[in-house]
Structure 1
Amino acid sequence: METYKAIIFDIGGVCVGSPLEGISQYERKHNLPLNFINVSMYAGENGSFQRLERGEIKVHEFLKIFSEEMSNPKNKELYLEYLLLRGDKTISNETSIFPATIKIEGKELFQKMIAETTKLNPIIFKAIKNLKASNKFKIVALTNNFQISNEDSQILEFIGDVPLELKNLFDEYIESSIIGMR
């Protein structure tokens, strides 16, 4: 019988709340169609969000271009393509699903996303503590994240951070922004 030596946990959406919930809240508040922001954000590997998570740009640089990218009119086309790929044939007129103008405030959206990731999942937190206490496994975290530079220290006030009590439970904490890959 094989024995497990390590257990790997994802952070966002498992150990802490999901940034997807913050995105969903923003979409509802601004009357955007469901998944519009996700489709816009993940359209390619070189968007500002992906570059932030790989450690290629700093938060203050990211915030400058995130709003522009998310508000790009081409995102409507990407979203309609997404709906067609999903087999949604109910779209007859694109203007019926979009607000007249789409202006996404990147800082507000980012704040909502990150606010969700500062909420510990108490069930998973307890499970990690119990696994750690058993001394049977190496406990590893894997996360897509970003680094806060000295220039970005003010930003911590509005985004928070993964609770230190959670980080300290892991034997290894693998961060996308440190290793340069998502």
Structure 2
Amino acid sequence: MTDAHHRLTIGDGGPSTAHIDFAALESFRFPDGCGYPPSYQAFVRECGWARTFGLWLIYPPVLPGYADGRQRADNLTSRFLDSYLDGQHEGFDWMVEPDGTWDTPSSLRVFAWSENGDALLWDTSGRGADGEFPVWESRGLNALHLLGGSLAEALPLLRERAHAHTVQADPVDIEPLAPARL
């Protein structure tokens, strides 16, 4: 687990992990032949299926018969890519601002979705020597923001932004969720 994860507070009951496919977490391979980024693997192991910072749903690989897993993230990736292809065709250059170009979306893959309709995406063409993918955010599928070189780098930024709007003295970062069956 990374230092960033040590600072996350998990709500009552501990992480929800009974439906997570840990074998898939270890065995899945991207086209580059490598697996999930280490910070994502650590997050899934430690935090499970949860609402993160009151907003974000980070999709883990799940066992057959369960919803809200990597299949959901793949469907959202298709939606993201279709939106950006349409935007490029229409000349909506603001969709790739402030940090991207029209070449950026093609290698981005959704791994988390917010309840506001924003996406967290990995740049699968930019794996670092540490095995991490850069993490991007697409706000409303209308902007591209580079959040950092890994999920561990992105989490503090997302936490700070989420907790800036919280009136609780000590908000919980990770709210475990019950897994849903298909």
Q: TM-score range by the shorter chain?
A: under 0.3
TM-score, normalising length: structure 1: 0.27
TM-score by length of structure 2 reads 0.27
Higher helix share: 1
> Which of the pair has more CA radius of gyration?
1
Larger fraction in strand:
2
